[in-house]
Amino acid sequence: MELLRRLWRHLLVFLLGVLTVWLIVDVIFRVTDHRLPWILAVAVTYGLAAYLILPRVIRLAVRLLHRQHVPEYTTTGDGLPGDPVNIALVGTLSQLRTAFADIGWIEADRLGVASSLRMARAFVFNKPYPSAPFSTLFLFGRGQDLGFQKAIDGSPRKRHHVRFWGISKAAAEATIGTPAFWLNTDRPGDEAPAIWVGAATRDTGFSLTWLSFQITHRTARDTNAERDLILSALQEKQRVAGVKTFNETAELPTKRVNRYLFDGDVGVADLTG
């Protein structure tokens, strides 16, 4: 019976995909092609498909398949696996900001219309934008609270970066090891002791997102190196203490998520100062 249910769900997803392709190619493009010059028709069709239709279809398909994600991974706005969680720093928000300032990392601007347009210009013309915004990934039921980055060779196309989500230390200690830990949506106060759970990756250029084909950065597959780079830099500046690793790969069938390969270790440390 369970096999039949799975087959039925996969058939629904397949039919949903066929319907989506028909809607984009045979309806939207045909309408825009009749009303706009060909190049504008393609651009409008791409915009509607990549940023409106496909993300909603993907979310619906994920619900139909009841796909489960290991909590140690972030998710995209489409509900698909995002970057692996590979670092956790314990301290206040001001300690976190001071630590990254000391190692020369810049806090990312909030994602908005103005910052997105500035990022697009910087990306196209390869002009520096040290505080460029990040796309939104989700953990604890919300997008990242803040992030830090360090450009590589001054280019906006290549950068070291890390996103953080905070959970108050009191809430974490009360719920750690239970589903409630990952369902906590409350951001801690600025001066409250907190655990800053992070996902660190390195951008290497231009890419399109899988399935929805949105424009984004291409990222290096090895997230272990990015985690180790951050912890080493913080240790060198004596901004962390008690560095250790936490590994819960017993929950995972393989040590990979999305397109990334990693060892499953989350580097944990106390912020100092």
77/32 same-domain check:
no
How confident is the model at residue 253, as a pLDDT?
36
140/37 same-domain check:
no
235/212 same-domain check:
yes
How confident is the model at residue 70, as a pLDDT?
36
- Of 11, 37, 65, the position where a domain reaches its end is 65
252/219 same-domain check:
yes
- pLDDT tens, per residue, the chain with 273 residues: 656 776 777 677 677 777 777 777 777 778 787 788 888 877 877 777 666 676 666 666 655 554 443 346 787 776 667 788 889 999 999 999 999 999 999 999 998 888 878 877 887 788 888 888 888 888 887 889 999 999 988 877 788 999 999 988 887 777 766 666 666 777 888 888 899 999 999 887 555 555 544 555 567 788 888 999 999 999 999 999 988 887 754 443 334 445 566 667 888 999 997
Cα–Cα distance for residue pair 100/104, rounded to 1 Å: 6
- Residues with Cβ within 8 Å of 48's Cβ and at least 6 positions away in sequence, in order, are 24, 28
50/98 same-domain check:
no
- Of 19, 48, 65, the position where a domain reaches its end is 65
Cα–Cα distance for residue pair 178/171, rounded to 1 Å: 12
How confident is the model at residue 227, as a pLDDT?
92
- Closest by Cα among 229, 230, 222, 205 to 260: 222
Domain span holding position 110: 73-271
- Of 41, 65, 89, the position where a domain reaches its end is 65
- Residues with Cβ within 8 Å of 185's Cβ and at least 6 positions away in sequence, in order, are 140, 141, 142
93/165 same-domain check:
yes
19/152 same-domain check:
no
Check if the beta carbon of residue 231 is closer than 8 Å to that of residue 269. Answer: yes
Q: Which residues pair with 132 in a beta bridge?
A: none
How confident is the model at residue 210, as a pLDDT?
53
55/142 same-domain check:
no
Cα–Cα distance for residue pair 230/242, rounded to 1 Å: 15
What DSSP character marks residue 222?
A: B
140 token code pair = 């604890």
How confident is the model at residue 206, as a pLDDT?
58
128/213 same-domain check:
yes
* Domains contained in the chain, number: 2
47/108 same-domain check:
no
What DSSP character marks residue 85?
A: P
Q: Are strands 265-271 and 87-91 parallel, antiparallel or unpaired?
A: parallel
58/120 same-domain check:
no
103/60 same-domain check:
no
